[in-house]
Amino acid sequence: MDPSAYFSLLFSDYTLRTISLGTVLMGIVCGVLGSFALLRRRSLLGDAVSHAALPGIVLAFMITGTKDPWLFFLGAILSGLAGAVWIIGISARTHLKTDTSLGLVLSVFFGLGILLLTMVQRQPNANQAGLDSFLFGQAATLMVSDVIMIAVVGLGSLILVAVFWKEFKLLSFDPQYAGTLGFKVRLLDILLTSLIVVAIVLGLQTVGVVLMSAMLLAPAAAARQWTNSLGTMVLLAGIFGALSGLTGTAFSTFSDKAATGPVIVLSATLLVVVSFFFSPGRGLLFKQIRLYRNRKSLRLHKTLSVMYEIASAHEEFSHPHSVSILNDFRGYSKKCLRELEARNLIVLKENTWMLTREGYEQAEMDHPENQGR
Amino acid sequence: MEMKFAVTVDDLTVAYKYKPVLWDIDLNIPEGVLMAIVGPNGAGKSTLIKAILDIVRPVAGNISIYGKPYRDQRSLVAYVPQKGSVDWDFPTHAQDVVSMGTYGRLGWIRRPGSREKKAALEALEKVGMLEFRHRQISQLSGGQQQRIFLARALVQQAKVYFMDEPFQGVDATTEKAIIQILKDLRQNGKTVIVVHHDLQTVPAYFDWVTLLNVRKVATGPVDEIFTDENLARTYGNQFKPAVLS
C-alpha cells in the first residue's frame, strides 16, 4: 500500500475521512486515559473490562435487534463494569489474589459473550452481520453514527480530564494525602475509573475486545519513556494513540478482510519497543552507553591516580617507570594505557610510562587528598 | 493553669479486620509541643495519626482539632506521609510535588497561580531544596525526597503538623536539618506530632512524648514520661533500656 495514496484518499474520500476521524479520536482518548491507568497501576482493568464487555454488546443487540452505537456503548459499559466489580469483590472477600479472580471472571464473561455471539449468528436476522468484528476490531465497519458517538463521548472525557487535571494528578500520585486536603477521593476514583472504562469501550469496535488492553496501555508506556512530566506524557500518549489508530485504519480500509485490532496494536507496540530502546533518558540503549562510559572513565581515573601515587614518590614526576609495576593493580589494561596516552596524560616508551605535566596536574586535582581545595 | 489542646482524642478504637490496632485511646495534645509517638512495630503509631486525619475510619471514638471535628479544621492541619507510601517514579518534579500542598486551599478545579508558586519556592528554600526544584523526583536521594514531603506540608501553612517517620532512611545531615525545621515550627507556636522510631534521640529532639502499644501507655513531658519503667511497659519486660541511662 502506498502511504501517499492513502493520504490523498484521506482528504478526498468522505467515508475514509469519517472512519479515520473515529479511530484517531479513539486513539487519543485511549492514550490519555491509559496514562492514568498505567500510573495508577490499574493495567489489568483494561483486560477485564474489555473482555467482560462482549456479552453486554451482544445482549444489547439481541434485545433490540438493532446496531445502535449508543446501545452497544451502554451494554458494553454495564457488563464491563459488572465484570470489574466482580473481580474487585472476589479479591477483597476471598483469599484469591487479583490475578486469579481476573482470570476467572474474564474467561466466564468472554465465554458467555462468544456463546451469545454464535447464537445470534445462527439467527436469520441479516442485521447481525459485522457483530463479530467486536472480537478483533474492524475500523471499516464504523458508521457515521459510530463516529459521532466516539466524538461526543471522547471529547466529553477529554474535557473532564482537563477540568479535573489537578485532582487526577494528586489522586494518582498520593491518594491518601489528597484525602487529608479535603478532596473526595472515592468520588474522584470512581470518576477517573469510569473515564478509563469509557475509553476502553470506545475502542472496542475498532480494536476488538481481545487486544483492547494493549491499546490502552501501549501508547502510555511508550510516552512514559520520553518525558518526566505528566502533562507531556499524557499529550504524547494521545499522539501515539492517534498514530496507531490511523495506521490501523489504513490497513483496514485497503484490505477489508484484515482485522484492524492487530494492526493498531502492533503499531502501538512498535512505538513501545522503539521507546524502550531509544528514548534518551530512560531508554535501554542510552542507559547502557552511559553505564559503559562511566565505567571507562572511572577506570582511567583509577589508573591515573595509581600512576600519580607512584610518580609522586619520586622528586621528578616525569621519571619513567616500568609498566610491570602496574601489574599489582588489576584495574589497568593496555587499552587503558593507550587511551591515557591519546589524551596526552602519559607518555609510553617501550615498556615504561611517565606522566606528562598535564597528566600530573589532572591526577593531582582528582586526588582525594586534594579534593575541595 | 488551663492548657489549650491542639488535638483531643477520646476513646479511640481502630481495627482493620478483627484484631484491634488501637484500643481505647485517650489523648490530649497541648498546643505548641513537639511530640514523638513511640512504640514497637505494630503498636498502631501510624494508624493513630491516620485515624486523626480521617484516613482510616475508627470503630469508635471521638477526635477533635482545636475543639472541632477534623473535616471542619482541615486548613489547620498538614500531613507528611511515610516516604514509601508513594511511587517516586511518578512523572513529576520536586516543585510540582511541593505545590500540591496548596491544592487544599485552592479547592476543586482552581489551578495554582503565582501566589501558590511563590509559596512553593519559599518552602523549597526553607528545606534547602531550591536548587533541585526542577529535578525529577526519582532522581532525588531518600533524604531529599523526605525534604520535599516536608516542604509540601510547610506550604499548607497549618497549625498542627502530623509526620509519619520523617527520619526514615535519611542521613545524619538531613536528620539535623529536618529537626531544626520542626523546632522552628514549635518556636512559632505550631504543634508538631511525629511518629518516631529512634528512642535514643527522643530526649534531644522532643519535649513531649506518647508511648503507645495498641493501648496508650503514657503521655506527657519527655523528662517525666520517658522513663525506663514506662519504656519497659511499652516494649515488654525483656526490653533493656540501657541506652537511656
Residues 35 through 74 of chain B touching chain A, CB cutoff 8 Å: 50, 53-55, 71, 74
Q: Which residue of B has its CA nearest to A162?
A: B109
| Verdict on whether the full-model pTM lies above 0.90 | no
pLDDT at residue B61 greater than cutoff 70: yes
What do you get for the CA distance between the two ends of chain B, in Å? 32
With CB atoms and an 8 Å threshold, state whether B109 touches A167: yes
Integer Cα distance of B120 and B151 in angstroms = 8
Helix (H, G, I), strand (E, B) or coil at B63: strand
Tally of domains within chain A? 2
Query: Strand ranges (DSSP E) for chain B?
Result: 5-15, 20-30, 34-38, 60-65, 77-80, 160-164, 191-195, 208-213, 215-221
Instruction: Tell me the one-letter amino acid at A275.
Output: S
The confidence band for B121, taking pLDDT boundaries of 50, 70 and 90, is very high
The ipTM value here is 0.92
Mean pLDDT of B134-155: 94
Tell me what pLDDT residue A67 has: 85
| CATH code, A319 | 1.10.10
Of A280, A300, A328, the domain-final residue:
A280
Do A301 and A276 lie in a common domain?
Answer: no
Answer whether residue A371 is part of any domain. no
Do A214 and A319 lie in a common domain?
Answer: no
Do A108 and A187 lie in a common domain?
Answer: yes
CB contact B106 to A (< 8 Å): yes
Cell of B114: 503565582
Report the run of H or E that residue A147 belongs to, with start and end.
helix A144-163
Do A305 and A204 lie in a common domain?
Answer: no
Integer Cα distance of B108 and B117 in angstroms = 18
Mean pLDDT of B193-213: 94
Higher pLDDT, B102 or A128: B102
Answer whether residue A373 is part of any domain. no
Q: Which residue of A has its CA nearest to B103?
A: A181
Of A246, A280, A314, the domain-final residue:
A280
Rounded to 5 degrees, what angle do the CA atoms A260, A216, A174 make? 175
Do A129 and A263 lie in a common domain?
Answer: yes
CB contact B157 to A (< 8 Å): no
Do A300 and A200 lie in a common domain?
Answer: no
- Asked if residues A353 and A321 have their Cβ atoms less than 8 Å apart, the reply is yes
With CB atoms and an 8 Å threshold, state whether B92 touches A229: yes
Residues 28 through 87 of chain A touching chain B, CB cutoff 8 Å: 39
Residue whose C-alpha is closest to residue B56's, from B175, B171, B164, B168: B164
Q: To the nearest whole percent, how much of chain B has pLDDT over 90?
A: 84
Q: Kindly list the residues from chain B whose CB atom is less than 8 angstroms away from the CB atom of residue A163.
A: 109
pLDDT at residue B1 greater than cutoff 60: no
Tell me what pLDDT residue B203 has: 93
Do A33 and A48 lie in a common domain?
Answer: yes
CA distances from B161 to A177, A346, B7, B52, B80 (A): 13, 59, 11, 12, 8
Do A162 and A249 lie in a common domain?
Answer: yes
CB contact A164 to B (< 8 Å): yes
Integer Cα distance of A36 and A171 in angstroms = 10
Question: How many CB pairs (< 8 A) connect A and B?
Answer: 72
Tell me what pLDDT residue B245 has: 44
Answer whether residue A209 is part of any domain. yes
Q: To the nearest whole percent, how much of chain B has pLDDT over 70?
A: 95
The confidence band for B123, taking pLDDT boundaries of 50, 70 and 90, is very high
Of A229, A264, A280, the domain-final residue:
A280
Residue pLDDT, tens place only, A32-78: 999 999 999 888 888 889 999 999 999 999 998 888 889 999 999 99
CA distances from A183 to A28, A33, B35, B98 (A): 28, 21, 28, 17
Integer Cα distance of A281 and A271 in angstroms = 16
| Nearest-CB residue to B81 (from A167, A176, A230) | A176
pLDDT, averaged in runs of 10, over chain A (373 residues): 71 84 94 96 86 93 88 93 86 84 90 92 75 85 90 96 97 95 93 93 91 93 94 97 90 75 90 91 85 84 82 76 71 77 83 82 74 47
| Nearest-CB residue to B103 (from A163, A181, A227) | A181
Do A348 and A313 lie in a common domain?
Answer: yes
Helix (H, G, I), strand (E, B) or coil at A132: coil
| Nearest-CB residue to A176 (from B85, B91, B109) | B85
Average pLDDT for chain B: 91
Residue pLDDT, tens place only, A201-232: 999 988 999 899 999 999 999 999 999 999 99
The whole domain housing A45 covers: 3-280
- Asked if residues A262 and A237 have their Cβ atoms less than 8 Å apart, the reply is no
Answer whether residue A372 is part of any domain. no
Q: In Å, how far is A154's CA from the nearest CA of chain B?
A: 20
Cell of B195: 511518629
| Nearest-CB residue to B79 (from A177, A224, A229) | A177
Do A39 and A168 lie in a common domain?
Answer: yes
Integer Cα distance of A258 and A269 in angstroms = 18
With CB atoms and an 8 Å threshold, state whether A177 touches B111: no
Do A175 and A302 lie in a common domain?
Answer: no
Tell me what pLDDT residue A372 has: 45
Query: Helices A144-163 & A14-39, crossing angle to 10 degrees?
Result: 30
| CATH code, A96 | 1.10.3470.10
Q: Which residue of A has its CA nearest to B86?
A: A174
Answer whether residue A242 is part of any domain. yes
Q: Kindly list the residues from chain B whose CB atom is less than 8 angstroms away from the CB atom of residue A170.
A: 100, 103
Dihedral sign from CA coordinates of B57, B62, B63, B66: positive
Answer whether residue A350 is part of any domain. yes
pLDDT at residue B5 greater than cutoff 70: yes
Answer whether residue A111 is part of any domain. yes
With CB atoms and an 8 Å threshold, state whether A173 touches B87: yes
Integer Cα distance of A129 and A131 in angstroms = 6
Do A109 and A169 lie in a common domain?
Answer: yes
Answer whether residue A195 is part of any domain. yes
CA distances from A362 to A198, A342, A346, A367 (A): 62, 15, 11, 9
Residue whose C-alpha is closest to residue A139's, from A264, A260, A39, A47: A260
